[in-house]
Amino acid sequence: MRLLIDTSFLIALKKGDLKARKTLESLKDKVEDIGISRLTEYYLMVGALYLWRKYGYARELAWLDEALKW
């Protein structure tokens, strides 16, 4: 099975949401491939760039760059 993670679920995982983590862990034996849509990638990039430009927070851009390598 392939799993497409949406923006809100990915953000919940990043924030440490226990329910989201348990949900993902419960699927680990059934899932062969995990991905995100281009739209989710775009939303995350827009959010990270906003934080960088408005507040100088480069941490979100670094996290996103690392997260998208998988």
Q: Is 35 exposed, middle or buried (0-12, 13-18, 19+ CB in 10 A)?
A: exposed
Are residues 3 and 26 in contact, defined by beta-carbon separation less than 8 angstroms? no
- Tens of pLDDT, residues 31-61: 999 999 999 999 999 999 999 999 999 999 9
- Which stretches does DSSP call E strand in 8-50? 33-36
More confident residue, 7 or 68: 7
Q: What is the mean pLDDT of the chain?
A: 93
Burial class (CB in 10 A: 0-12, 13-18, 19+), 10: middle
| pLDDT value at 14 more than 80 | yes
What is the model's pTM? Answer: 0.76
Q: Report how far Cα 54 is from the mean position of its chain's Cα atoms.
A: 21
Domain ranges of the chain: 2-67
